[in-house]
Amino acid sequence: MAVLYFGNQPDPNVTEYVVGPLPTPAYHRDVTVQKYGGKVPYHRRPVTGKEYMDINTLIQRELGKAPRFLAACCESNGTDLAILTTAPRGFKSGDRTTWFVLFHGVAGTGYYLSPVGLEVLVEHGDLVASHWQLRQVFYNGRYFSSMRDLEDAFVANLLEVVRIEKPWAEAVLGSMRLRHQPGSPGLLQYEPQGPRYSIRDNRVTFQGWSITFGMNPNSGPRLFDIRYRGERIIYELSLQEALALYGSNCPGGMSTRYLDGSFGIGRFAYELVRGLDCPYTATYMDRHYLAESETPKTNQNSLCIFEHDAALPLRRHFSDSHSFYYGGLRKNTLVIRTVSTLINYDYIWDFMFHGSGAVEVRVHATGYISSSFLHGQGTNYGNRVGPHTLGTMHLHHIHYKVDLDVDGQLNSLETQDMEYELVKDPWSMQNTIERPYLRRERLEREDEAAFPLNGPMPRYVSFASPKPNKWGHPRSYRIQISSFAGEHLPTSSPMERSISWGRYQLAVTRRKEEEPTSSSIYNQNDPWTPTVAFADFIDNETITSKDLVAWISVGFLHVPHAEDVPNTVTVGNGVGFFLRPYNYFNEDPSVDSPDSVYFSGEEDAGACGANPLACLPAAAACAPHLPPFRCGGFLH
């Protein structure tokens, strides 16, 4: 797929082409009308690097009109200030007017925690950059029509200025520079006899699992044709969108609703640091994309694959009655991971494949919080985390597409939950007992299968095959969500339809070729007339014995606090979901694992032949051969 900007046509537009076959294309076909019903208006296009450069030039020129103010407030002439974009860009379709927030920029550390209190509104919708204008200025709770007006107010002593010293790198708030000398290297995970997974091109196999992996430069990681023991479980498992929605009493913060797909979740998945982002001995893969260039770009080592020992039994039992034995299995998991750095935040995307036949999808948020300048009633919107820094409240909402094919493409959606029934005790009729029972239901239509965010949902929701297992139950996979999402944007908001996928923690729809994604890169800059509105996917069609797709939202409310400096930690900031076999097999498939352990009281548990764990001292006696540490640098 190629996306082209045509700004010099009589009707400026964005056009999409299917190009193929790769790697030596011989044809291209315009699919814009087919996908969107018409050309994409030019104002919806994502902002390019060149556009940001032109905006920065404009802002620097305007800052030069207030030299005395900048010297007094920030010990700056403006050229050393960092500029952060917000989005969306206005209030109605056709707008391209953006608030930019200014920070003290210090090399080698995150500037996001050092706002100077100055924000500027730039109108940059005209096709000629020289026609762009600075429309408003905000400083410390007040609005001005221009930088010159701000300067005049300062000179006339009509402006309350908060004087902020220019920070120095070693002491700036949020510095990640080392404070102590390195200690011992700590634990190291390695494979004593080499990796137990194998990779060929973009397909990985591991203990019955087979997965094709890839990366969309816009929407990020995506997996296809996920099979277990030769049977396809999932046709597509892909990230769709990541929303960060902020609150503040500053204009930049209060108007920010980042849709990260527009910036490039996959594009900004950079090189992973060996031994920290992933285990030292993981396999690291390059990812390639084409954007704003005539030649492909490579993010080297930006995806990793490894086997992970969770230091937890997958299952175990110690028998000390009737007979004496021990049986169990380590919880070893195949992990596919990538990390996207989207301005200040780093999202760690994990896809995990368990020996029980379960798939686990998880995202952790880390990196820097975004902040506003603390003034007035700022703590209504977060916590103070620095001398003049407000850590602004925000919510993260993440959307996934899961195209399950459970024992074939034709599935139904079944739910189970518990209720109590009051019955008389059969053995003591004068007494009663509250007996739990299962309430089973098959959902017939899409409207029934759209579960509102933070609303009630049956505890068991499964994609069910019409074929039974050995015990007569439909072969199924259960969807189990782990999330503590904030509140969705009110539906009365004029931009809500662009993120209407966030209305639902789970929505199940008929699979359609014309509904491939729940969001669009064009939704960010025109959320008022969204190019893709997920709410339209739910049109109450029947979902019994059909090819179905599960759309899953996870997320969390984040109120930044002192411990988010310098970075938000991953502990407690992870959400996701499981896809678990539910009567899909006749028993737990992990019983066939060669890693299983069993020994009884009649056996010598220390003998290698009786217990695989007893073989480890010999198998792992030698230190691993580790490849040298390398980092490709920061040029992308």
Residues 343, 565: Cα–Cα separation, whole Å: 16
Cα separation values, 544 from 13, 449, 503, 540, 550, Å = 41, 11, 23, 12, 14
Q: Can you say how many angstroms the Cα of residue 496 is from the centroid of all Cα atoms in its chain?
A: 20
Choose, from 111, 228, 345, 582, the residue flagged as catalytic: 345
Nearest residue to 351 (alpha-carbon basis) of 244, 487, 518, 214: 214
- Contact in structure between 306 and 278 (CB atoms under 8 Å): yes
Choose, from 111, 112, 228, 260, the residue flagged as catalytic: 260
Residues 352, 333: Cα–Cα separation, whole Å: 6
Q: What angle do CA 520, 351, 332 make, to 5 degrees?
A: 180
Phi, psi of 340 (to 5 degrees): -105, 130
Following CA atoms 4, 8, 11, 17 in sequence, which dihedral angle do they give, to the nearest 10 degrees?
A: -20
Contacts of 192 (CB under 8 A, 6+ apart): 616, 619, 620, 622, 624
Per DSSP, 370 falls in state: P
Encode 202-232: b = buried (16+ Cβ within 10 Å), e = exposed: eebebbbbbbebebbbbbbbbbbebbbeeeb
Phi, psi of 69 (to 5 degrees): -60, -50
345 flagged as catalytic:
yes
Q: Can you say how many angstroms the Cα of residue 2 is from the centroid of all Cα atoms in its chain?
A: 24
Residues 115, 101: Cα–Cα separation, whole Å: 8
Per DSSP, 131 falls in state: G
Residues 90, 331: Cα–Cα separation, whole Å: 50
- Contact in structure between 449 and 549 (CB atoms under 8 Å): no
Per DSSP, 39 falls in state: P
| β-pair type (40-41, 428-443) | unpaired
3-state secondary structure of 276: coil
How many other β-carbons are positioned within 10 Å of the β-carbon of residue 479? 22
- Contact in structure between 488 and 497 (CB atoms under 8 Å): no
- Contact in structure between 131 and 108 (CB atoms under 8 Å): no
Residues 444, 463: Cα–Cα separation, whole Å: 12
Residue reference for tokens 């009509």: 158
Task: Enumerate the β-bridge partners of residue 341.
Answer: 346
How many other β-carbons are positioned within 10 Å of the β-carbon of residue 635? 4
3-state secondary structure of 369: coil
Q: Can you say how many angstroms the Cα of residue 434 is from the centroid of all Cα atoms in its chain?
A: 43
SS3 track for 481-541: EECECCCCCCCCCCCHHHHHHHHEEEEEEECCCCCCCCCCCCCCCCCCCCCCCHHHHCCCC
- Contact in structure between 566 and 174 (CB atoms under 8 Å): yes
- Contact in structure between 356 and 590 (CB atoms under 8 Å): yes
Q: Which residues are marked as active site?
A: 260, 345
